[in-house]
Amino acid sequence: MYARHLGSTPQTEALPGQIANSAGGFSFAVDDWTRLDRFLILGSEGGSYYAAERKLTIDNAACVERCVALEGLRTVARIVEVSDSGRAPKNEPALMALAIAAKRGNTETRRAAFAALPRVARIGTHLFHFAEYVKALGGWGRATTRAFSEWYLSMDPSRLALQAIKYQQRDGWSHRDLLRKAHPKTDDATRNAILRWMVKGWDGIGTVPHEDPVLVKIWAFERAKVTTDRKELIRLISDYDLPHECVPSEAKGDPAVWEAMLPSMGQTAMIRNLGKMTAVGLLKPLSASVRAVVDQLGDVAAMKRARIHPLSLLVALKTYQQGHGDKGSLAWAPVASIVDALDAGFYSAFKAVEPTGKRHLLALDVSGSMGSTAIAGMAGITPRIGSAAMALVTANVEESHAFMGFSHQLVPLAISPRQRLDDAVRAISNIPFGATDCGLPMAWAEKNKIPVDVFCVYTDNETYAGSIHPVQALQSYRQKTGIGAKLVVVGMVANEFTIADPADAGMLDVAGFDTAAPAVISDFARG
Ligand code: CA
């Protein structure tokens, strides 16, 4: 009769090697490299159900410091890889981590971190944020000054001119502030003129275009600020590819102004302004502008180059199809072909995956903690909604799959890859909340004799409500069925917990919303 105590431990008791999680249960701890990935991809903005943003951020900063102390160069390489390849929805965690490496690392780490600055801080806004982190971590030294100076000196002049007019200041920093600290020196007349304009502006901007092909963009920006002639403004936008940040807001109710901006508009700006462009009447069914937008959204290579993250597309889809913004009074009638293009764009924004033919159980944690806060601070995308979207990516590739939802009990899930994402999101949003037992997917599959090769569990790993630990449930499933089933934990919150046993080679941790996650899951499933 003692047998019932063996091989099954309640989740409120620790297995060897486990630590207490935030929910009153016990989980394994991920190693610092896995946690670094989670932080770089999921961030800590808005905190989690269990931890305030401040605590979660401080914990993650400590993890970055440990990685930097352990292997500084590896840490910097990881930061650059995740940021530069567009694997993360936001660049903020990478900037913070790079600043930690730049200020806290040993000599070679600091050097590598500063050298990587242009690859991680690719636009003015990034650089302003990096400056704020540097300030918080102890301020400016010689190496910092040199790195900032180099940022202004190494960038291609036409890109630098665009930075100058597009992002003049953000979060208490401006180019003027940075240039006064870094004072870069160059003999290049064009570059000097850009830097001088950033600090002081120019005197005597006339009606005649500047003769320098790079500086003429700054001239056009200055001219657009003062002209009262609508036709001239539209011509300036078309002729000099002015971005929307450079167009006076009172002109933005005019569809012709948006029509002039659209051909040179970057994908990020286009996706953010779909509602606006529809509201002002530019994007109408069957119009050439809609065609252009749909073509852009379908250009996978261009979307990758612009580092458009699937999470941004999910947010855009959710907002655009609802026909109004989350704030303000802007409303529009969504154009169906654009909604469909956003839906398709979401899937193609992930790294391409070949089907494995393995049987996948896609198990979604729909407990209470998954319904609060937002992944990477993206409005409306709770870990629960993010889980459904991520699971649909795998379901779209793997024909042999089943969905299940769990909290402390099984929860029927009516989602399928045939659905459009916003329908699936709506379906999962309406499910009641419960306590958390991450062992349920395996226990359910064992009890019902469901053949599963790969359990994909989408969760925050805060499990506590079960009479048996998830790893024990998996071991039991393997024994009873004879299937060497694997477990993939798709972590949806940047905490340190995992239900996967790090000592078991058949278990894997990936960070939810890593664009590479579906491909990694597929490689792992294949062995
Ligand atoms: Ca929970």
Question: Residue 336: in which H helix or E strand, if any?
Answer: helix 336-348
Measured in angstroms, how far is the CA atom of residue 343 from the centroid of ligand 1? 28
Measured in angstroms, how far is the CA atom of residue 89 from the centroid of ligand 1? 23
Measured in angstroms, how far is the CA atom of residue 426 from the centroid of ligand 1? 20
pTM over 0.75: yes
Measured in angstroms, how far is the CA atom of residue 136 from the centroid of ligand 1? 34
Alpha carbon dihedral 221, 91, 321, 264, in 10-degree steps, equals 30
3-state secondary structure of 454: strand
How would DSSP label each residue in 209-231? PPSSTTTHHHHHHHHHHH---HH
| Predicted confidence (pLDDT) per residue in 29-56, tens digit | 999 999 999 999 999 988 888 889 999 9
Q: Is 21 exposed, middle or buried (0-12, 13-18, 19+ CB in 10 A)?
A: buried
Spacing of C-alpha 66 from chain mean position: 23
* Regions of the chain short of the pLDDT cut 70: 1-6
Measured in angstroms, how far is the CA atom of residue 469 from the centroid of ligand 1? 15
What's the half-sphere exposure (Cβ side, CA atoms, 13 Å) at 475? Answer: 14
Calpha distance 204→119 (Å, rounded)? 36
Measured in angstroms, how far is the CA atom of residue 367 from the centroid of ligand 1? 5
Angle 243-422-453 (CA atoms, 0-180°, nearest 5)? 115
Residue 20's alpha-carbon distances to 12, 26, 462, 504, in angstroms, are 9, 4, 9, 20
**Among 12, 4, 28, CA closest to 500:** 28
3-state secondary structure of 205: coil
Q: Which residues contact 468 (CB under 8 A, 6 or more apart)?
A: 8, 9, 10, 11, 439, 443, 476
Measured in angstroms, how far is the CA atom of residue 368 from the centroid of ligand 1? 5
| Predicted confidence (pLDDT) per residue in 475-509, tens digit | 999 999 999 999 999 999 999 999 999 999 999 99
Calpha distance 229→468 (Å, rounded)? 73
Measured in angstroms, how far is the CA atom of residue 460 from the centroid of ligand 1? 7
Measured in angstroms, how far is the CA atom of residue 419 from the centroid of ligand 1? 26
Residues with C-beta atoms within 5 A of ion ligand 1: 367, 369, 436, 462
Query: Would you state the pLDDT for residue 1?
Result: 58
205: left (phi over 0), alpha (psi -120 to 50) or beta: beta
8 A C-beta contact, residue 39 and residue 97: yes
Measured in angstroms, how far is the CA atom of residue 362 from the centroid of ligand 1? 17
Measured in angstroms, how far is the CA atom of residue 465 from the centroid of ligand 1? 9
Angle 111-105-80 (CA atoms, 0-180°, nearest 5)? 60
Residue 6's alpha-carbon distances to 10, 453, 468, 501, in angstroms, are 11, 25, 10, 18
Query: Would you state the pLDDT for residue 2?
Result: 67
Measured in angstroms, how far is the CA atom of residue 456 from the centroid of ligand 1? 16
Measured in angstroms, how far is the CA atom of residue 39 from the centroid of ligand 1? 19
Residue 118's alpha-carbon distances to 95, 96, 98, 127, 144, in angstroms, are 11, 14, 11, 9, 13
Measured in angstroms, how far is the CA atom of residue 437 from the centroid of ligand 1? 8
Query: Would you state the pLDDT for residue 427?
Result: 87
Measured in angstroms, how far is the CA atom of residue 54 from the centroid of ligand 1? 20
Measured in angstroms, how far is the CA atom of residue 455 from the centroid of ligand 1? 18
8 A C-beta contact, residue 497 and residue 30: yes
Measured in angstroms, how far is the CA atom of residue 441 from the centroid of ligand 1? 15
| Phi (first) and psi of residue 27, to 5 degrees | -135, 170
Measured in angstroms, how far is the CA atom of residue 470 from the centroid of ligand 1? 14
Measured in angstroms, how far is the CA atom of residue 464 from the centroid of ligand 1? 8
Residue 74's alpha-carbon distances to 14, 109, 244, in angstroms, are 33, 9, 38
Calpha distance 33→377 (Å, rounded)? 22
Measured in angstroms, how far is the CA atom of residue 462 from the centroid of ligand 1? 5
Calpha distance 527→523 (Å, rounded)? 6
Measured in angstroms, how far is the CA atom of residue 375 from the centroid of ligand 1? 15
**Among 401, 413, 381, 400, CA closest to 310:** 381
User: What one-letter code names the amino acid at 328?
Assistant: G
Measured in angstroms, how far is the CA atom of residue 318 from the centroid of ligand 1? 24
Measured in angstroms, how far is the CA atom of residue 49 from the centroid of ligand 1? 9
Terminal-to-terminal C-alpha distance of the chain: 39
Q: Around Cβ 170, how many Cβ atoms within 10 Å?
A: 16
Query: Would you state the pLDDT for residue 426?
Result: 85
Calpha distance 248→466 (Å, rounded)? 58
How would DSSP label each residue in 368-436? GGGGSS-GGG-TT--HHHHHHHHHHHHHHH-SSEEEEEESSSEE-----TTS-HHHHHHHHHTSPP---
Measured in angstroms, how far is the CA atom of residue 82 from the centroid of ligand 1? 28
Rg (Cα) of the chain, in Å, rounded? Answer: 25
